[in-house]
Amino acid sequence: MLNKRYFSANSVISAVTWLIITVMMLITALIMYFLHVLDDKTIQDVHRRVDIAFTLEKENLYNLNIEYSYWDEGYERSIAKPDKDWFQSTYQDYMIEHYHLSYIALIKKAEEVEIIARSDGEPNNFDPQLLLSSSILERVMRSKNKKLLITRSAFFSEFNGRYFLVSAEPFRDESTGNIVDSSFLVLAKELNSQYLTMLSQKYKLPSLSISKGSQHNDTMVLSGASPESVLTHVYWNAQKLSDEVFPYALAILFAFMSVTVVLARLLLSKDFRDRDLYQEELFVAATTDSLTSVSNRRHFIALGKRELQLHTRKQTPLSLLTFDLDYFKAINDSYGHAVGDEALKHFTNLCKNFFRDTDIFGRLGGEEFGLILPGVRLDKALQLANKLRVSLSETPLLIDDVVINLTVSVGVVTLSDQSSIDELLADADKALYVAKNSGRNVVKFSE
């Protein structure tokens, strides 16, 4: 019997406890450090992405304004010869809807403001001159004063108590790029909750707000027409991993599970190996004849069923041989069962010299054996049967200087119209019966 060793429960518990405590302390310290580093990186990254988002939005609005203010037909139909139908189709129906603008306005020579399109829900009862806010007015003045540096970009403005992203550009000649007169095209997009939500979704940003809340931890200045003018701020909350409970819980759980799994594998691996060996021993005991170490009848039949189905489906040849040692009872009676057992092992060892790896050999009971030959036709099966018969007759069993001559009778059958392994064995047994009644030590086949 194997001398099995087992770990004591106390040693396992102590080892697991101290390892978990040590690893958890180290991992917790490292995670706290790295989370603080990641917090700083996250805040910087979010701030940069918010800045890029508004830069792109200003650039897009500026390019849209340039597209229409550098257009001769746009100036002709907006300022020179105002066309109300064109206002409706171009500014109201197309630009307002397509680009989600709040207002489109014209600033004429005398700084007279005319709102020519507005989005649904925008009030229409306020004085248009309110659009000429400090930021827009500054842009107009800088455009008229050629000595002042003009930053060609959209900017932020406040009028009527609300904040807007605005682009105000003078109408220019398409061919020369020169300013036609002092008329401006103004495009305005309100910084309302809907627009800020769209920005967050479009650029994968946290929720943005113009109003500062207690939950906000970062901000950015929104400038007017000149970069140095501070109009308002936009606020957001950059998520800090160190403020979240989940990463800590996940780290602790991961550490605990990792240690537990490793220890469990170490402690249980031996048991698994022993179980695998035991299962292998059970399989061998259930499928192998203990005396001859070849397949027993049950396993032989099971393998035979599989081969029969395969060759019937593929319509390929299959032959089956049954062997019966001649006068085996007389050997048992004369020399004893121990010698009879040696005779059976002698026969099986001799047969193995003639088999292929694909052949199936098994003990069917007593002194009777079976052999399945996949892919072998009747003539080849008969040749093999005779080789085995002759080899056994020429190789006597020698025990304690006693020579015991052995012979075998063989029945052969080839798969034809049999539908089961039992029918195939029955036909082979019929041929074996004929061989036994024909003087023994002969091979007969079933037709």
| Whole-angstrom distance, CA of residue 171 vs CA of residue 182 | 8
CA 88 to chain centre: 53
Alpha-carbon torsion angle 285, 286, 291, 297, nearest 10:
-170
User: Which is catalytic among the residues 367, 368, 423, 447?
Assistant: 367
DSSP letters spanning 168-195:
EEEEE-TTT--EEEEEEEEEEEE--HHH
| Whole-angstrom distance, CA of residue 140 vs CA of residue 168 | 8
| Whole-angstrom distance, CA of residue 412 vs CA of residue 389 | 13
| Whole-angstrom distance, CA of residue 27 vs CA of residue 31 | 6
| Whole-angstrom distance, CA of residue 7 vs CA of residue 14 | 12
Tally Cβ neighbours within 10 Å of residue 318: 24
371 SS3 class:
strand
Q: In whole angstroms, how far apart are CA 260 and each of 76, 140, 157, 269, 374?
A: 79, 72, 61, 14, 51
Tally Cβ neighbours within 10 Å of residue 261: 10
Beta strand pairing call for 230-236 and 208-209: antiparallel
**CA end-to-end span of the chain, whole Å?**
53
CA 90 to chain centre: 49
Q: Which residues pair with 318 in a beta bridge?
A: 374
Structure tokens at 32: 């706290």
| Whole-angstrom distance, CA of residue 365 vs CA of residue 387 | 23
| Whole-angstrom distance, CA of residue 410 vs CA of residue 440 | 9
| Active-site annotation holds for 138 | no
Residue positions annotated with a catalytic role? 367
